Amino acid sequence: MSVKILAIGDVCGEPGLRFLTERLKPYRKENEIDFVVANGENANVVGVTPKQADTILHAGVDVITLGNHTWTRTELRPYLDERRKILRPANYGPQCPGRGIAAFSTPFGDVCVLNLLGRFTLDNNTDNPFVIADGYMAEIREKIILVDFHAEGTSEKRAMGFLLDGRASAVWGTHTHVQTSDACVLPGGTGYITDLGMTGSIHSVLGIDPRQSIGKFMGDPPRRYESGKGPCKMEGCIFTINPDTGRCLNAEAVRIL
C-alpha cells in the first residue's frame, strides 16, 4: 500500500489563488492524491490574510505552511492561534503566535508536518533550523513526517534533506519560486526536492509583474508589488510514501498548466 502526498509551491497573489481554486480539486481526484500541503505565504503577494488562507483550504489544501512573510499581515496572528491547519516556521521564538509543527489524522494514519525557515539572507532572528529539526526527529512518533524548509540557499536546503534522510518521509524547499530538477529519493528513503516552484503567473518574476521587477533592478523607488498577469501554472512535487514505514518510494516534480 502507498499514499500520495502533493506538496505545492508558493501560491502567489490573486492569480495563484484563482488557479489553485480552479485546478486543485480535479487534479487531486484524477491523480488520487491523499494529502496536500501548500506554501501560502505569498497569497497576498507578500504575506497572507485569514480570508486568503481560508480560500487555500477551501481549494483542497489540507495544511498551509508559511515562511519569512508570516508576520507581514498582522491580522493573521490570531488566526494562527485559532486554526490548526496553518503552520508558521517552528524556529520562530516560542512567544510567537501559532505553531510550527502539528499532527493531522488521516485515513492512512497520523501525518506530522513541520515548517522551518532558513537563515541565509532571511530572518536571522530565528533559532537554528538544523538543530530544531534534528531535535524534533527524536521526538516525533508519527510514521509520515513532512518538512517544508522555506529557505533561500540551495546548499541549506540540500543539507537539510540529507540531515533528515531516513527520518523524515519527505523534505522539500520553498521560497525561491523556481522549480529545481533534483526531485529524488535520498539513500535513506526520504523524498526530496530543493524547490517546489510556484503557483501563479507563468510570465512573471517569481509571481511579480516583470515590468515592476525590472524597474526595481533599474533603480525605481520601492512601491507595492503587483502580481504578474496572463496564464498561470501550479508547480509542486508528488511523494509516494509507504504509510507503514514512512519511507518514500518515489518523488516526482509536477507542473500543471
Positions that interact with Fe ion (CB under 5 A): 67-68, 175
Nearest of 41, 84, 37, 39 to residue 61 by alpha carbon: 37
CB of 241 to Fe ion, least distance (A): 26
Q: Which among 3, 37, 1 has a CA at the least distance from the CA of 144?
A: 3
Q: Which residues pair with 146 in a beta bridge?
A: 113, 170
Q: Of 61 and 144, which CB lies nearer to Fe ion in the complex structure?
A: 61
- Distance CA(66)–CA(210), nearest Å, equals 24
Residue 125 burial (10 A CB sphere; 0-12, 13-18, 19+): exposed
Check 69, 150, 175, 177 and give the catalytic one: 69
- Closest approach, Cβ 236 to Fe ion, in A, equals 16
Residue 67 or 189: the one with the smaller Cβ distance to Fe ion is 67
Residue pair 149/175 in contact by the 8 Å Cβ criterion: no
Q: Report in angstroms how near the CB of residue 5 gets to Fe ion at its nearest.
A: 21
> Is 177 designated active site?
no
Minimum CB separation of residue 155 from Fe ion in Å reads 17
The residue among 69 and 247 lying less far from Fe ion, judged by its C-beta, is 69
- The CA distances from residue 100 to 50, 114, 136, 159, 190, in Å, are 17, 6, 11, 20, 20
Task: Give the residue numbers marked as catalytic.
Answer: 69
